[in-house]
Chains A and B, each alone.
Chain A
Amino acid sequence: MAKETRIILICSGKGGVGKTTLTANLGIALARQGVPTAVLDADFGLRNLDLLLGLENRIVYTAQEVLEENCRLDQALVKHKQEPNLALLPAGNPRMLDWLKPDDMKRIVSMLSELFEYVLIDCPAGVEDGFKNAVAAAKEAIVVTNPEISAVRDADRVIGLLNTQGIKPVQLVLNRVRPKMMATQEMLSVEDVTDILALPLLGLVLEDEQVIVSTNRGEPLTLSSSNSPAARCYSNVAQRLQGDDIPIIDPSKEGSGMRDKLKRLMQTKIF
């Protein structure tokens, strides 16, 4: 591969903040831009990246078999049906955690680097072995957090660890932003979060019911030309990752106009 592969860890510290959803949407969005992208499920304990991508029933081999040399990498890679530029490397079974070492992770990722321009690693929650394995192979990181004190606190801890591991750059995605709650100061503001975490903001993702709908269908929002709020946010994050200068949405202006309101009404009706 002529260009150096970008190996990006998607992590958060706290669980359930939207890492896997971001990995799936970003993977699809990058693939749609024509970039060969691999997503690696490093959450061996509770894997579900395959579910979100609708690829569960296509998995035959996993990273585990590749490492044990029971199959080739290309046999284990699961190509996405609609977006052939995207491939998933599934995690092994949960027992794999017992023997997987940071070096194994590095081996897998260096194999993937031969074939792809982007490798997105979906990191498990926490800062224990699963995190340490996942971080070993990464060059850069995206920290996902929510506008909640506990999520921000855990993100801060993870950023501290990433810094000591020489991961650079580390960028921030603030997920599940609710403009209304921010306006009434019931929710931490974007500034509150960036003030503590002191990271460049890669993007905001609005709270959006469509995320849940799409999760259940196994079709990430970025796959369709859906114009739902979160879908736009995820594509913007992908474009910024590629270096495009796209302004970050201003939550105080989001969804207040008549057109936006109408659009949202229509969308909820469609489903």
Chain B
Amino acid sequence: MTSINGNQMQVRSERQVINLPFSRDSDWKTFLPKKLKVLKKGYLEIHCQDWVLNCRDLLYLKNFFENAGITITTIRSYISETIVSASALGFETDLILEKFTKSSSSLTKESANKNHPTGLSFHQGTLRSGEHLEVEGDVLLLGDVNPGAQISAAGNVMVWGRILGIAHAGKSGKTSAKISALQLRPVQLRIANKVARGPEEKPEEGLAEEALIVADKIVINPLKPCFQKT
């Protein structure tokens, strides 16, 4: 359930990529048979654009291509729901954080991306065991990160809930990244390449906390007063 990094990309360089049409352009299901003609047997990466796909849809995709001898390895999408479903099914996933609106053309999408190299992506709902939410900018989760679940971001990780699983901020090396949550009781925290095991003792209830790197070590502090309950 890891996302692709540079190395894996090279190993699987023979993998093919297709983009589903944007939802305003045409339906993805009717689009598939046309695409099948140009694909070879082997591995496939699918960019699902702005489609909100659930497990059932993704299984449909999986079966559809498997019947043609094609194995889906990676699901990319702008939509975090799609990514969560995909990672629940065990695909490699990649949530793309380019700013886009339903009416924008791909051109403005690219320019928006240049202006906002890192955005804030927002996800609502608890991450359950086995789920992995991974984003390229900052991430704000409204919900818990349960034991066995993981959340990671190139930027900051903010959780309006409890972190009981694994959180990784600054996953591409940004050491100034922070992890904050209403309750920090993680199995493991990572910031950039630093790893810390979670605290043994229960933190006080109702005290939001923040983890960051200070002098080469991950430390946990109470979150700044403006966030704190009075």
Residues of A within 8 A of B (CB): 132, 149, 153-154, 156-157, 159-161, 163-166, 196, 198
Contacts and interface: CB of A to CB of B under 8 A. Distances in A.
A157 B85 contact: no
Contacts of A156: 128-130, 146-148
A198 B126 CA distance: 9
Interface stretch (B53-61, B68-76, B95-103, B204-212): B53-61
Contact of A160 (B59, B88, B147, B164): B88
B67 to A, nearest CB: 12
Interface in B95-131: 125-131
Contacts of A163: 125, 128
Contacts of B147: 149, 153, 156, 196
Contacts, number: 42
A192 to B, nearest CB: 11
Given A156-B128, A156-B147, A196-B164, A161 B54 contact: no
Interface string B133-177: 000000000001011100000000000000010000000000000
A166 B55 CA distance: 9
B146 to A, nearest CB: 5
B91 to A, nearest CB: 13
B84 interface: yes
Contact of B129 (A160, A164, A166, A198): A160
Given A164-B85, A196-B146, A157 B130 contact: yes
A160 B54 contact: no
A164 B88 contact: yes
Contacts of A149: 147
Given A154-B129, A196-B146, 16 more contacts: A153-B148, A156-B146, A157-B129, A157-B148, A160-B88, A160-B127, A160-B128, A160-B130, A160-B131, A163-B128, A164-B84, A165-B56, A166-B54, A196-B164, A198-B126, A198-B144
25 contacts: A153-B129, A153-B147, A153-B148, A154-B129, A156-B128, A156-B130, A156-B148, A157-B128, A157-B129, A160-B88, A160-B127, A160-B128, A160-B129, A161-B88, A163-B125, A163-B128, A164-B54, A164-B84, A164-B88, A165-B54, A166-B54, A166-B56, A196-B146, A196-B164, A198-B126
Contacts of A153: 129, 147-148
Nearest to A196: B146
A160 B150 CA distance: 13
Contacts of B125: 163
A228 B125 CA distance: 40
A154 B128 CA distance: 10
Contacts of A161: 55, 88
A165 B126 contact: no
Contacts of B130: 156-157, 160
B186 to A, nearest CB: 14
